[in-house]
Amino acid sequence: MRFNTLDGLRGIAAILVLLYHLGPFSPIRIPGGYLAVDLFFALSGFVLAHAYDARLRDSMPLREFVLLRLVRVYPMAFVGAVIGVVLSGRFFESLLLLPNLEGMAVRYPELAPLYPGNGPMWSLALELLANLVFALVIVRLGWRGLTTLILASGAIFLAGGLTYGLAELGAFWQTIGFGLARTLFSFSLGVAMHRLHLRLAIRRRETKLAWLLPIALILVTLQVSATDTAWNLASAFVLLPLILWFGTIWEAPRTRLVEEIGGLSYPLYCIHGVIVQTCNGMGGSPGYLWALLIAAAWWLNTRIDVPLRRHLLTLLNRHRAAPAAA
């Protein structure tokens, strides 16, 4: 089942992160583009709960869940890591999605990113960790336990936001604990939204009002900056969850554009950081880089990611069918 509005929000969010990282070389300045990461986490929680919550509680093996998540996440993350290794000549551990452990020994760890070869990979790693917590713990929690997890992770996230701000919370070794709380808060909130859908028997309805949600997301990221702590926290705790909630009940009319934007979002997120970082370090990104990166992400999605995932899923299905046939 496709969620057209969520696809559109995912695509717009990835583009906003790209424009944020381009900084002064962006055609449009998006000072709060980093907030799209919190939307990604919550959106992931909703979608994974929809796809796996009941299946994991029934009889789905953990190994199968992990393999399915790796099929979805790893190919494009590997492409992004390869680009980082080629451009830097270092950080080979990122090919296995592992962080750079040298940063743990640095006296001032706020200067030591988890993934110096491709900065945005920190959020992919923490989201995968949240996926594992989901499969092992969250699926077994009732409403009381899920609410406790949301409140506890939200309190730690709030403390981290007040101390360090939200712009790079979780990207460095000193803030990794707060980053995990940030991830678990939004992810668990997305899971709770899905369970609320089931409990209240909420039905999605197609409406053109859904087109207001990407606009609202853009306005939120335009109105905040890294130094505006109050608006950052209000966005992460209130505005973005509201946008996601309406995105789960207002279904945008299905169009090819929405599907394409949603599809290119993940490849774009995986490849843009290291390329923008390299170009900015060489004196500045060209004004057309954003368009090239979006085009490259579209090509990667249609020519590499989708066909490769289909092939890997076919292999997994054959592997599962072989014992039954025997």
**Interval 178-229: pLDDT, tens:** 999 999 999 999 999 999 999 999 999 999 999 999 999 999 999 888 889 9
Q: What letter would DSSP give residue 65?
A: H
Residue 117 lies in a domain: yes
pLDDT along the chain (326 residues), means of 10: 90 96 92 96 97 93 95 96 94 95 68 90 96 97 97 98 93 94 98 96 93 96 90 96 97 90 96 92 85 97 96 88 57
Provide the domain limits for residue 128. Answer: 4-320
* % of the chain residues with pLDDT over 70: 96
Residue 326 lies in a domain: no
Residue 212 lies in a domain: yes
pLDDT, averaged across the chain: 93
Q: Give residue 298's pLDDT.
A: 97
Residue 106 lies in a domain: yes
Torsion of CA 296, 300, 303, 307, to 10 degrees: -170
Residue 39 lies in a domain: yes
Here the tokens at position 245 are: 């909630």
User: Tokens 């990604």 — which residue?
Assistant: 40
Span 128-172, pLDDT tens digits: 999 999 999 999 999 999 999 999 999 999 999 999 999 989 999
Q: Give residue 38's pLDDT.
A: 97
Q: Give residue 287's pLDDT.
A: 82
Residue 325 lies in a domain: no
Residue 100 burial (CB count, 10 A): 18
Record the pTM. 0.94
Q: What letter would DSSP give residue 293?
A: H
Total domains, the chain: 1
How far apart are the C-alpha atoms of 229 and 225, rounded to whole Å?
8
Residue 240 lies in a domain: yes
Q: Give residue 261's pLDDT.
A: 94
Burial class (CB in 10 A: 0-12, 13-18, 19+), 97: middle
Q: Give residue 106's pLDDT.
A: 63
